[in-house]
Amino acid sequence: MPSTSTTTSVTTTPGGGTADADRGSDRDGARGAAQSQNAQSQSQSQSQSAQSQKAQSQSSFRVFDVSVVRVRALSPNLSRFTFGGGDLDDFAETGYDQRIKLILPLPVVGLAPMPRTENWYGDWRALPAELQNPIRTYTVRAVRRQLAEIDVDIVMHGDSGPASAWASTARPGDPLIVVGPNHHFDGDCGGVDFAPPAETGLHLLIGDETALPAIAAILEKLAPDARGIALVETPHADDRLALGYHPGVEVRHVERGDGLPGSALVPAVRAATELLFGTGTRAGAGAVEDGAASAPAGGAAHAGADTRNADSARAAEVELDDVDVDSAVLWDVPGEYSGIPLCDRTDVYAWVAAEAGVVKELRRHFVRDCGLDRSCAAFMGYWRLGRADLA
């Protein structure tokens, strides 16, 4: 289990800026970072060599110049990108749902404008808009420090966004910038939101294809005696091949085909919570069990009922902010940033990451219908249907 959690609150887009800052960039990039620097210092900073940054970096997150080593199709909609680079041996191996930033090239100038500074995010924001490289958030699927390599599994959704468009043409040797946790940082680097209490009866891992790399990484690091259910929706049945395995976690995969995001996941979750919490919300899910584990359903039903009874009163006291997912990041995770206290033991811990509108619906369902205590849940909008990421 992670020793600490890093969290952000549900928040509106800060004054004309980027709501992505609220789910990590400011903290990931430069904890306590200083003011934006002027153009002169930016150009000086940009000319820093990777080696000198390696020697100097004290940040929790830092900038890594990398290049594509390999690209491998994992499933119809997911491809694994292996990045290598001279100083990726400084990339911290944190695991779970460790988020990172990919900095995408601009036409003509490529990656040159991106500040390679400790205060990379503030410096990036200070650049003229046309020199701001697109930033997108991803999960680091694997870190091999000894080989100076990392893997990132990317959903190939066409060329409508800079990240997916870049991925669709990327070849070995192509350069990219990754901002990720610094192995040399003395403390919690941040950017890991999976933080179940040490004593958790049942882990519920719920997400779509963009959350699949995080769920796979969580399954890899979860204690062998942990119990759980992973409910995953993807466009194609074969996308589950990228998911992985844990002996105590029952994987239920639902295929949405050409349906809208959430069209298979929401009914599947409602069917599961009817058994777990007795909410009477069954909607005919048709979930396909993947046969990954001995089903923990019996124990889960009992545990869920206990949680509901114990926590529903407390959950009702917590105001459930309504989030406009068109203008805000839905990021509702317990911790110091959200003000939602962390609980130290729970019967059910829910980790939910998917399209923001879907997460909004599931959050309402868990908190209002199921009475799940928000201290025992992480709700994260990973992307927004019909809208670019807010970075």
Q: Shortest distance, CB of residue 386 to ligand FAD, whole angstroms?
A: 5
d(CA 293, CA 291): 6
Residue nearer to ligand FAD on the CB measure, 244 or 296: 244
Among candidates 124, 81, 111, which has minimal Cα distance to 177?
Answer: 111
Region 82-101 residues binding ligand FAD, contact defined as CB under 6 A:
99
Cβ–Cβ < 8 Å for 60, 181: yes
Select from 138, 194, 351, 379 the one that contacts ligand FAD (CB under 6 A).
138
Q: What is the largest CA-CA distance in the chain?
A: 64
d(CA 45, CA 48): 5
The answer to whether 144 contacts ligand FAD (rule: CB under 6 A) is no
Sheet of 175-181, strand order:
135-139, 99-103, 175-181, 61-73, 78-84, 149-155, 142-144
The answer to whether 354 contacts ligand FAD (rule: CB under 6 A) is no
Select from 37, 41, 46, 164 the one that contacts ligand FAD (CB under 6 A).
164
Select from 69, 135, 155, 367 the one that contacts ligand FAD (CB under 6 A).
155
Q: What are the phi and psi torsion angles at 306 (to 5°)? A: -60, -45
Q: Strand 249-255 and strand 288-289: pairing?
A: antiparallel
Residue nearer to ligand FAD on the CB measure, 162 or 201: 162
Select from 31, 54, 145, 157 the one that contacts ligand FAD (CB under 6 A).
157
Q: What is the distance between the terminal CA atoms of the chain, rounded to a whole angstrom?
A: 29
The answer to whether 384 contacts ligand FAD (rule: CB under 6 A) is yes
The answer to whether 213 contacts ligand FAD (rule: CB under 6 A) is yes
Residue nearer to ligand FAD on the CB measure, 154 or 204: 154
Among candidates 312, 310, 328, 332, which has minimal Cα distance to 320?
Answer: 332
The answer to whether 21 contacts ligand FAD (rule: CB under 6 A) is no
Region 172-211 residues binding ligand FAD, contact defined as CB under 6 A:
210
Select from 151, 153, 274, 373 the one that contacts ligand FAD (CB under 6 A).
153
Interacting residue ranges for ligand FAD, rule: CB under 6 A: 99, 136-139, 153-155, 157, 160-164, 210, 213, 382-389
